[in-house]
Structure 1
């Protein structure tokens, strides 16, 4: 049975286009080196002198960048060369670790995060996946990206913990060394995609004169349940940004977790993704994206509860294992995003989604910092759980299932 399943995944991989396999390969290695610093960013900012509200304000710079760049980027993607746009973003993304490594205080982190937000949007491979993956392989393809990508990345948190120990423990100087390693790796990966990525095939590139209002109005007219989906994605980004901003400061400051506990949480999250991502992705491609999300919702809530109630640092690993299902859920329901609009609207649609989620990401960490200081750190994660259950779940229920709905060519 397992042999047949693996053979099916191999067939899914082999029948995809070279460009998709190229960006996935880059994503696999990029994710490994991102993980070296990912778990320590918020701790690094606080070590540089930021309080919890200040930490939230700094993290909100990414949402601001996303909100600013998404609408024009959406129009540009529907009209111009996707390969060139992607390479510009990857090139900018390459130099972000330098700013982190050279920052003398937490004020400098804000522009670094702002530029990182711009680079991640411009260099996002999601539009390449939208255009390259057929509907019947979309959730599985995204799961393969996350599942295969998680395999080498499982080692990254432990490697980071070992390097920090070698560098003298958690501290400003030690974390800066991780950013230097990340920088050199990104330089190599940029040249890899530059050499291997070719022009992206697509149908009906827009060539008429730009009319911003009409261009975006067309997306809503031809799309399905677009407004409700934007609300769903907005609340998703709100809770995700709040969670990622305060998860590791909570582990480090409140639960007294060491670098090995922090690394262990990251590792268990990745183990979950590796084991279950392709399974859930295939389920989503068979029974529906929404049903797959309903299955995972209790596990996402349990992750936050386990984080709060953990009696000792070691028990935090249980929370980490359960948190991995939140990422799996994201590409399960995320497969619906390109299936709600015609193919020739994808760039603008992704721009609208990016604008809304960017706006949602701006207040989320600031509100989370206020909740932490005013009501207590546990209430950050309680709030996330309540929003998931009382807001996001009903919103998703109101959106039609998109499985077997083929993208129109316009």
Structure 2
């Protein structure tokens, strides 16, 4: 099955497997240390939440024009912009001397997140047949996860060599990330053939009037878009806990960089083993059923993370996955695989020529993650740490799941 799938892959898919895999691996090196790095530079919990909030607000403002630029200049050009921003983020982090110097990096991080993976998924969906689409999405995640499997321990080794969890111990990770991001950018620039540009905006009008008219028509024509926006907004609420989970693991549960690395490694390993079977299953029995099978694992892992009486349970939480453990979307461990049928069904709900616009309007929801991060900072500083960790679980269970189940499956398998 895997060899047959690889032979059938479009060349553009293969280029993305390598280039985005390299970028994902390099970003994963520092993912568990960004908040620790900021606190080591002097940021307190409220300031840490404020950093995330500022980044989210700016990326939300950038999102709507981004949909216009994707439509006008094409997916490849905007993907390159995202990779360039990722390299710039690594440079800023590596050179930072105070926590406030991280503000532009936080902003650019959120903008690059808005561009890199969604645009990569748009290309994958666009060059893959509907009957193999979830499998192809899962296959891409497995290929990217294999090097990421070694990223936490590689990062932990680098941090240990340079002095442990401190500014000087973490800083070298960002220069490694910088080099890898530049290589990924060159690969995309030279080797990726662009998708055809399918224009939906009128470029004879001004940017502002074109945006207003384009997004107004989009909301009117796509009945289920509002449902999807609510579901995505709930996922953004994972931002309330994401900045603080490394602090919880290290400062409250007493873990060191080795255990932090073990949790990340086990999380990635679980996904490597199960992504492809899950993707194949989603193509056979449906996206919704597979989502419902896997999502409870994420809830169980989150509860383990909160309760964890010892380091063994923390490691088990890494396997199950926990909301916010590897980012705001709950993408860690077995439970995190539920994102594959979710995002595949999401992109399939819209025609190919509107997917850039859809990404633009959905990116506006970043402000919700910003507010969540700010709220999380205040709650954390007041001592309500467990509430910060449990709130994303409750909103996911009570709002996201019912909304997702109300959306028809297979609206547009093209």
Q: Structure 2 length as normaliser, TM-score?
A: 0.91
* Structure 1, unaligned runs of 5 or more: 1-7
Moved more, 293-302 or 82-91: 82-91
In the alignment, the residues of structure 1 paired with residue 346 and residue 68 of structure 2 have an alpha-carbon distance, to the nearest angstrom, of: 17
Paired residue for 2:86, among 63, 84, 93? 93
Moved more, 253-262 or 342-351: 342-351
Moved more, 310-319 or 209-218: 209-218
| Cα shift at 1:172 | 0.4
Q: Secondary structure at the match of 2:413?
A: coil
Query: Corresponding residue for 2:232?
Result: 233
How is 1:167-316 mapped onto 2 (pairs within 5 angstroms)? 167-201=162-196, 209-210=204-205, 211-239=210-238, 241-316=239-314
How is 1:357-396 mapped onto 2 (pairs within 5 angstroms)? 358-396=366-404
Q: Secondary structure at the match of 1:168?
A: coil
In the alignment, the residues of structure 2 paired with residue 218 and residue 14 of structure 1 have an alpha-carbon distance, to the nearest angstrom, of: 40
Query: What CA deviation, in whole Å up to 9, does each residue of 1:276-315 have, x standing for no partner?
Result: 1111111111211111111112101101111111112232
Query: Corresponding residue for 1:5?
Result: none
| Cα shift at 1:173 | 0.5
Query: Corresponding residue for 2:361?
Result: 352
Query: What CA deviation, in whole Å up to 9, does each residue of 1:360-404 have, x standing for no partner?
Result: 11111111122223352122122122111111111112211227x
In the alignment, the residues of structure 2 paired with residue 393 and residue 347 of structure 1 have an alpha-carbon distance, to the nearest angstrom, of: 25
In the alignment, the residues of structure 2 paired with residue 331 and residue 113 of structure 1 have an alpha-carbon distance, to the nearest angstrom, of: 26
| Cα shift at 1:204 | 6.0
Question: Contact (CA 8 Å) 1:161, 1:260: kept in 2 or not?
Answer: yes
* Structure 2, unaligned runs of 5 or more: 322-332
Count, aligned residues: 397
Query: Corresponding residue for 1:4?
Result: none
Moved more, 315-324 or 65-74: 65-74
Paired residue for 1:133, among 128, 136, 160? 128
In the alignment, the residues of structure 2 paired with residue 369 and residue 290 of structure 1 have an alpha-carbon distance, to the nearest angstrom, of: 34
Query: What CA deviation, in whole Å up to 9, does each residue of 1:46-73 have, x standing for no partner?
Result: 1111111211111223322321111111
Question: Contact (CA 8 Å) 1:224, 1:340: kept in 2 or not?
Answer: no
In the alignment, the residues of structure 2 paired with residue 140 and residue 50 of structure 1 have an alpha-carbon distance, to the nearest angstrom, of: 42
In the alignment, does 2:141 pair up with 1:143? no
| Cα shift at 1:208 | 5.5
In the alignment, does 2:101 pair up with 1:108? yes
Q: Secondary structure at the match of 2:337?
A: helix
Q: CA RMSD in A?
A: 1.8
Query: Corresponding residue for 2:318?
Result: 320
| Cα shift at 1:13 | 2.8
In the alignment, the residues of structure 1 paired with residue 228 and residue 252 of structure 2 have an alpha-carbon distance, to the nearest angstrom, of: 36
| Cα shift at 1:237 | 1.4
Query: Corresponding residue for 2:328?
Result: none
Moved more, 251-260 or 94-103: 94-103
In the alignment, the residues of structure 1 paired with residue 153 and residue 288 of structure 2 have an alpha-carbon distance, to the nearest angstrom, of: 34
In the alignment, does 2:15 pair up with 1:37? no
Paired residue for 1:160, among 155, 163, 166? 155
Query: Corresponding residue for 2:348?
Result: 339
Question: Contact (CA 8 Å) 1:372, 1:380: kept in 2 or not?
Answer: yes
Question: Contact (CA 8 Å) 1:170, 1:259: kept in 2 or not?
Answer: yes
Question: Contact (CA 8 Å) 1:268, 1:321: kept in 2 or not?
Answer: yes
* Cα separation, partners in 2 of 1:377 and 1:125, compared to 1, 3 Å: same
Question: Contact (CA 8 Å) 1:131, 1:202: kept in 2 or not?
Answer: no
Question: Contact (CA 8 Å) 2:64, 2:211: kept in 1 or not?
Answer: no
Paired residue for 1:27, among 20, 32, 47? 20
Q: Structure 1 length as normaliser, TM-score?
A: 0.92
Query: Corresponding residue for 1:406?
Result: 413
Question: Contact (CA 8 Å) 2:35, 2:48: kept in 1 or not?
Answer: yes
In the alignment, the residues of structure 1 paired with residue 63 and residue 126 of structure 2 have an alpha-carbon distance, to the nearest angstrom, of: 18
| Cα shift at 1:202 | 5.5
Paired residue for 1:73, among 54, 63, 66? 66
Query: What CA deviation, in whole Å up to 9, does each residue of 1:167-223 have, x standing for no partner?
Result: 111110011111112112222222222221122236566556343222112222332
Q: Secondary structure at the match of 1:21?
A: helix
